[in-house]
């Protein structure tokens, strides 16, 4: 079949890379893609927000399945439009995508279905929000309700920081309408983990675990980003924790959405905090995480196309996922200044050298090709991903490759995967 992947980042490169391995695939298109994706698929100049353009392209090119990478077109109803035209699409409906598109919807859904999460209050009035801050306990978390590219969450240690977050979201409207409503919630303590499940609306299969690194600097310091790296699996998870996560979070979410008449089809991402009181839900996403996809997909032995198509056809229950028992580490290389102001257009050198390392793949996130050169074209530029026999080996292989890549003002964290080493020391996998 012909497959269209929607998006242009590292997640989409990883999806194209994995899809290309399927014997079911005749041709892959990507809209709009990037410089690296163009080496594996035909990139087409259609933006993810151009729903009529994506529909027309899918009809004209006999697309057998559309795989939607980013959240925004799902929130705008891309899946609904494609499905109504008889085109299989891997991604949830507009109604189901509210789990990510509206944090208020997600939190109230969790409350209705007794899914463990932080205590919270919602506000649409700046004055009332400020009044609440005067009696709140710190630290606390301020969240913009709508989509904000992973940057609409601020952990506030003081009332001044919380007032600043409210000003940013509700007064300055940095994220436009996404900040018209905010959530103020308790700050959960513990270690984060990402759990993804593929569902057909009735049944689901859970993917292996991963751990994202959101903050820009080592030791989880600095502002939130779209993600600075990830590793898989998350070694802190015991079998008991796995069972608790499925029983208290994943299953109730899939069942609850079905009960509310908005069955979830696609990949459900649950961002969790493992607290002293057990796992609690920080957020939902309605698509593969980025960079979690880059750390997960190299470990998946199954034909991803078959699993995704099973979700489209309502037969996920028959899927049995098989995982490479090696660890995988993804380090994101960014433009200097990200997540704030940065410049693009710098030549990237060392990509061929990095690709020579065994079990290392470089996923392009924001690149463009001019002639025979790759240039930077955004904030998160590359995701350098390596498999290893044990997390320490995976870290070593990945950073060896990272060090060969050069462009002006390149930046990356040097501690991706370090949290996993703590669990190795106390009995995790070597």
For residue range 241-285, list pLDDT tens digits in order.
Answer: 999 999 999 999 999 999 999 999 999 999 999 999 999 999 999
Mean pLDDT of the chain: 95
With a cut of 90, say whether residue 286 has pLDDT above it. yes
pLDDT at 427 over 70: no
Q: What 3 state SS string does the chain have?
A: CEEEEEECCHHHHHHHHHHCCCCCCCEEEEEECCCCHHHCCEECCCCCCCHHHHHHHHHHCCEEEEEECCCHHHHCCHHHHHHHCCCCEECCCCCCCHHHHCHHHHHHHHHHCCCCECCEEEECCHHHHHHHHHHCCCCEEEEECCCCCCCCEEEECCHHHHHHHHHHHHHCCCCHHHHCCEEEEECCCCEEEEEEEEEECCCEEECCCEEECCEEEHHHEEEECCCCEEEECCCCCCHHHHHHHHHHHHHHHHHHHHHCCCCCEEEEEEEEEEECCEEEEEEEECCCCCCHHHHHHHHECCCHHHHHHHHHHCCHHHCCCCECCCEEEEEEEEECCCCCCCCCCCECECHHHHHCCCCEEEEECCEEEECCEEEECCCEEEEEEEEECCHHHHHHHHHHHHHHCECCCEECCCCCCHHHHHHHHCCCCC
151-177: average pLDDT: 94
pLDDT of residue 357 exceeding 50: yes
What are the boundaries of each domain within the chain?
2-93, 119-186, 191-318, 327-425
Q: What is the pLDDT of residue 428?
A: 44
Note the pTM of the prediction, 2 decimals: 0.94
Position 294 pLDDT exceeds 70: yes
Q: Assign domain 327-425 to a CATH class.
A: alpha beta
Q: Which CATH class is domain 119-186?
A: alpha beta
Look at the domain 2-93 and name its fold.
Rossmann fold (3.40.50)
**Could you tell me if 156 and 140 are in contact, meaning their C-beta atoms sit under 8 angstroms apart?**
yes
- In this prediction, residues 356-368 reach a mean pLDDT of 96
Phi, psi of 427 (to 5 degrees): 120, 5
pLDDT digits (tens, 9 = 90+) for 340-356: 999 999 999 999 999 99
For the stretch 414-423, pLDDT in tens is 999 998 888 8
Residue 375's CB: how many other CB atoms inside 10 A?
A: 18
Residues above pLDDT 70, as percent of the chain: 99
| DSSP code of residue 367 | E
Pick the CATH number of 191-318 from 3.50.50.60, 3.30.470.20, 2.40.50.100, 3.40.50.720: 3.30.470.20
Higher pLDDT, 42 or 235: 42
């Amino acid at each position: 079949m012909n497959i269209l992947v929607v998006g242009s980042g590292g997640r989409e490169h990883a999806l194209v890379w994995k899809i290309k391995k399927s014997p079911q695939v005749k041709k892959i298109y990507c809209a709009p893609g990037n410089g690296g994706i163009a080496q594996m698929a035909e990139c087409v100049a259609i933006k993810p927000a151009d729903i009529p353009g994506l529909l027309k392209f899918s009809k004209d090119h006999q697309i057998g399945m559309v795989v939607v990478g980013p959240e925004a077109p799902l929130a705008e109803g891309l899946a609904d439009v494609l499905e109504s035209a008889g085109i299989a699409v891997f991604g949830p409906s507009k109604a189901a995508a509210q789990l990510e598109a509206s944090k208020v919807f997600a939190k109230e859904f969790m409350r209705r279905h007794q899914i463990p999460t932080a205590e919270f209050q919602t506000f649409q009035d700046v004055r009332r929000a400020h009044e609440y801050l005067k009696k709140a306990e710190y630290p606390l978390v301020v969240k913009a309700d709508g989509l904000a590219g992973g940057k609409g969450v601020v952990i506030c240690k003081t009332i001044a920081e919380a007032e600043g977050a409210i000003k940013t979201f509700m007064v300055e409207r940095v994220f436009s309408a996404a900040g018209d409503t905010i959530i103020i919630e308790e700050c959960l303590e513990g270690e984060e983990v990402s759990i993804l499940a593929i569902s057909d609306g009735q049944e689901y299969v859970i993917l292996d675990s991963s751990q994202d690194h959101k903050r820009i600097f080592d030791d989880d310091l600095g502002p939130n980003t779209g993600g600075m790296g990830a590793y898989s699996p998350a070694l802190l998870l015991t079998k008991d924790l796995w069972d608790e996560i499925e029983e208290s979070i994943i299953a109730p979410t899939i069942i609850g959405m079905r009960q509310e008449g908005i069955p979830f089809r696609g990949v459900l991402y649950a961002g969790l905090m493992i607290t002293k009181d057990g796992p609690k839900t920080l957020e939902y996403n309605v698509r593969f995480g980025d960079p979690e996809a880059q750390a997960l997909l190299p470990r998946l032995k199954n034909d991803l196309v078959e699993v995704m198509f099973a979700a489209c056809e309502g037969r996920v229950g028959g899927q049995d996922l098989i995982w490479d028992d090696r660890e995988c580490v993804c380090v994101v290389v960014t433009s200097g200044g990200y997540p704030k102001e940065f410049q693009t257009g710098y030549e990237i050198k060392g990509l061929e050298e990095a690709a020579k390392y065994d079990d290392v793949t470089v996923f392009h996130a924001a690149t463009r090709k001019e002639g025979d050169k790759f240039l930077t074209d955004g904030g998160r530029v590359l995701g350098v991903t390596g498999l290893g026999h044990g997390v320490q080996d995976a870290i070593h292989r990945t950073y060896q490759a990272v060090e060969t890549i050069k462009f002006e003002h390149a930046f990356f964290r040097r501690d991706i995967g370090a949290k996993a080493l703590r669990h190795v020391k106390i009995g995790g996998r070597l």
